[in-house]
Amino acid sequence: MAKITLDNLAHSYKPNPATEDDYALKELNHDWVDGEAYALLGSSGCGKSTLLNIISGLLTPSQGRILFDGKDVTRAPTAERNIAQVFQFPVVYDTMTVHDNLAFPLRNRGRDEAYVAERVNEIAKMIGMEHMLKRKARGLGADEKQKISLGRGMVRKDVNALLFDEPLTVIDPHMKWELRTQLKRLHHEFGHTMIYVTHDQTEALTFADKVVVMYDGRVVQIGTPEELFERPEHTFVGYFIGSPGMNVIPARVEGATAHVGGAEIALGQGYGALSGKVEIGIRPEFARLSQSEGLPVKVRRVEDVGRHKIIRADMFGQEINIIAGEDDRISPDMNRVSFDASQVNVYADDWRVQGAAA
Amino acid sequence: MNKTVNQKAWFLVLPVLILVAFSAVIPLMTVVNYSVQDTFGNNQFFWAGLEWFEEMLHDDRMWNALKRQLLFSGIILAIEIPLGIFVALNMPKSGFWSSFCLVLMSLPLLIPWNVVGTIWQIFGRVDIGLLGYVLDKLGIDYNYTQDTLDAWITIIVMDVWHWTSLVALLAFAGLKSIPDAYYQAAKIDQASRWKVFRYIELPKMMGVLMIAILLRFMDSFMIYTEPFVVTGGGPGNATTLLSIDLVKMALGQFDLGPAAAFSLMYFLVILLISWVFYTVMVNLDKKGM
């Protein structure tokens, strides 16, 4: 277990990166605190796997350093870093039994057989495969194979960090839940530093203490699930997290008021002069549809998703989403929307602006 | 569901049936015909029954050719399969040099068998051949036309030169199909180079290797042209492999009956050994080696 420090780290797959666009991973400084569970969240191609592979040593960054507990390991090979990694698709040694698969990392490090057997049994119990230990890995289903991969990642107690690269993609939905819960329990029990790459927000938010949201090769926000929900630092975070995502509406902001299409929206805080592209962001959860209060909207359709209703509406030609309670009655004459002033965020050029108390 | 009966469909199969009949069935039956009869020319045939088969089975000549044949196939498999794997493992995985190697390796496969034989026949000659001349000057007594061992070494090296590429190309295809994640996982698990080969590369190559072994076995078991051109089966009968012996018997001595019986048994032996190979390997594969 170790603190992992990224110092000025950046990576480009091109040999001579010139502009910032050439970098798959843009300059980054960050400390991964020892013993925390992180999720790296972002859409495909945002650089999250690149970052993971740099940490595990499968990739050498084109710039910057990476330190484990203050020791520079930037050029150290994977084996020396003492990390474990689980990949997106199951990697098992087909010709070995389940037992030998789980024992492989320990045997390669010369641990004695008694210890190996003990650890393998422990892990097998954890992944629910103790009755299959004697079977060949070949011929097992994809989710069983992936459980073996997970088990092989966890079998060593002394790893510096456990890295997961979208490990649950091939697993059945009900198994996903179970495995994620087990990973969490494991984290509480042993306190490994864990980094979990995913593009699934539910996975990220339920697994991690801290979520690192990446967008276009850049880390846009690091925060607890709550922070990401209430104060998205970047419009991408607002849009990517939440279902549906945050409403982002172009606006003109003056003091504690936002002007949208001639109407006014009250803001919880006051803002100075803003330059660039100014937008306000409101989560659908903090918008309310009514007959009398707020701005005029035209309701397009109402979707009932079970727990609540999602109202898709037009406001000054801009599509916005509103969430209403499952039991709320939506009537045709409800054509006004109001917002919770304290939950309206202001963005200039996609980045959140911190206001001053009005 | 009702099936529509349409007898016209037979006409669609007919061309294939005719083709197969003329290319395989009729010629094979002709051989069967010769194998159970005796002929003295003038198209006079006498029924011989299984006489030729019995005679061939008690004939040392065929057994000796079969022994030589098995020895030859065994040796070339034992060399070409490991060597092919070794070459494939050491080939560049991608980029210009990978393509370059692939083309270079394909070259021997594109040379007609007759030409391969001629190349080695000349190459090994002591008077004008580069190999023979150099060996002779180095003081090594090498003469494939007179020494049995030299003749064997020559045809084996020739076959290895000609066909190792095939094994290497197949093994390379198998290696290319292994996702990077396997190698990365092996690094993380601290697997040694040998273990990467034993537990990742070899299992993933098994499928294509099986094909390679079968192909090389069948081809080598039927080899004719190259040794015929180089040694003509000599010195003596030292390199008279099965097909060379068969041709000598059928066309050299014009013993059509015994030669036909010989051919059929030859064919059955190949079929049998290939089947055994295949069954054993499929079972191994199921058990996961």
In chain B (289 residues long), the average pLDDT of successive 10-residue segments reads 75 90 88 81 75 81 88 94 94 87 90 89 86 86 84 91 93 90 88 90 88 89 87 81 83 80 87 86 66
State the pLDDT confidence band at A203, using cuts at 50, 70 and 90.
confident
CA A187 to CA B239: how far, in whole Å? 70
Task: Classify burial at B113, counting beta carbons within 10 Å of its beta carbon; exposed 0-12, middle 13-18, buried 19 or more.
Answer: middle
**pLDDT score, position B286:** 67
**Cα B136 from chain centroid (whole Å):** 31
CATH topology for B59-287? MetI-like fold (1.10.3720)
* Residue from B183, B188, B209, B282 whose CB has the most chain A CBs within 10 Å, to mutate: B188
Report strand pairing: A37-41 vs A210-215.
parallel
- Look at the block and give the residue holding tokens 């003469």: B143
**pLDDT score, position B170:** 93
**pLDDT score, position B289:** 45
3-state secondary structure of A288: strand
* Angle, CA of A249, A250 and A255, to the nearest 5°: 105
Contact flag A58-B187 (C-beta cutoff 8 Å)? yes
**pLDDT score, position B84:** 94
CB distance B178 to B265 below 8 Å? no
Cα–Cα distances in angstroms (integers) from residue A44 to residues A199, A215, A217, A312, in the given order:
7, 9, 11, 27
Contact flag A78-B188 (C-beta cutoff 8 Å)? yes
Q: Which amino acid is at B167?
A: V
The residues of A whose Cβ lies within 8 A of any Cβ of B are: 56-58, 77-79, 83-85, 87-89, 91, 93-96, 104-105, 108-109, 136, 138, 149, 152
Name the phi and psi angles at B192, rounded to 5.
-75, 165
Name the phi and psi angles at A19, rounded to 5.
-95, 170
Contact flag B184-A78 (C-beta cutoff 8 Å)? yes
Q: What is the mean pLDDT of chain B?
A: 86
Beta-carbon-side half-sphere exposure of residue A312 (alpha carbons within 13 Å): 10
How confident is the model over A65-92, as pLDDT tens digits? 888 888 888 888 887 888 888 888 888 9
Tokens found for residue B11: 């006409």
> What stretch of H or E contains B106?
helix B96-110
Q: Where do the structural domains in chain B lie, given as residue ranges?
A: 59-287
Out of A87, A88, A95, closest to residue B288 by CB: A95
CATH number of the A4-240 domain: 3.40.50.300
Sequence-distant contacts of A314-322: CB under 8 A, at least 24 apart: A315/A249, A315/A260, A315/A261, A316/A260, A316/A261, A316/A262, A316/A263, A317/A261, A318/A249, A318/A250, A320/A247, A320/A249, A320/A282, A320/A284, A320/A287, A321/A244, A321/A247, A321/A284, A321/A287, A322/A284, A322/A287, A322/A288, A322/A289
* Angle, CA of B217, B218 and B219, to the nearest 5°: 95
* Residue from B180, B184, B189, B201 whose CB has the most chain A CBs within 10 Å, to mutate: B189
CA A209 to CA A187: how far, in whole Å? 11
- A59 contact residues in B (CB cutoff 8 A): none
How confident is the model over A166-191, as pLDDT tens digits? 888 877 888 788 888 878 888 888 78
Spatial neighbors of B253 by CB under 8 A, at least 6 apart, are none
Contact flag B190-A93 (C-beta cutoff 8 Å)? no
Average confidence (pLDDT) over A284-296:
86
Closest residue in B to A97 (Cα–Cα) = B288
CA B248 to CA B276: how far, in whole Å? 29
Quick one: DSSP state of residue B98? H
How confident is the model over B92-142, as pLDDT tens digits? 888 889 899 999 989 999 998 889 889 998 898 888 888 888 888 888 888
How confident is the model over A89-136, as pLDDT tens digits? 888 998 888 999 999 989 988 888 888 988 898 888 888 888 888 888
**Cα A221 from chain centroid (whole Å):** 10
Out of B189, B190, B199, closest to residue A95 by CB: B199
**pLDDT score, position A357:** 67
Tokens found for residue B258: 């015994």
How would you list the strands of the sheet with A318-325, edge to edge? A298-304, A308-315, A318-325
**pLDDT score, position B78:** 95
3-state secondary structure of B213: helix
Q: CB contact, 8 Å: B111 with chain A? A: no
Contact flag B189-A105 (C-beta cutoff 8 Å)? yes
Out of B179, B188, B200, closest to residue A93 by CB: B200
Q: What is the mean pLDDT of chain A?
A: 85
Q: Start-end ranges of CATH 2.40.50.140 in chain A?
A: 247-357
3-state secondary structure of A17: coil
CA A236 to CA A248: how far, in whole Å? 10
Residue burial B12-47, b: 16+ Cβ < 10 Å; e: rest: eeeeeeeeeeeeeeeeeeebeebbbbbeeeeeeeee
Q: Start-end ranges of CATH 3.40.50.300 in chain A?
A: 4-240
How confident is the model over B128-170, as pLDDT tens digits? 888 888 888 888 888 888 888 888 999 999 999 999 999 999 9
* Residue from B190, B193, B284, B287 whose CB has the most chain A CBs within 10 Å, to mutate: B190
Contact flag B203-A94 (C-beta cutoff 8 Å)? yes
CA B77 to CA B220: how far, in whole Å? 9
- Preceding peptide of A244 cis, ω within 30°: yes
CATH topology for A247-357? OB fold (Dihydrolipoamide Acetyltransferase, E2P) (2.40.50)
CA B233 to CA B246: how far, in whole Å? 11
pTM over 0.80: no
Tell me the CA end-to-end span of chain B in Å, nearest whole number. Answer: 44
**pLDDT score, position B72:** 93
- Decide if pLDDT at A316 tops 90: no
Out of A79, A85, A87, closest to residue B190 by CB: A79
- Decide if pLDDT at A215 tops 50: yes
- A149 contact residues in B (CB cutoff 8 A): 185
CA A161 to CA A56: how far, in whole Å? 9
Spatial neighbors of A190 by CB under 8 A, at least 6 apart, are A157
- Decide if pLDDT at A50 tops 80: yes
Contact flag B187-A91 (C-beta cutoff 8 Å)? no
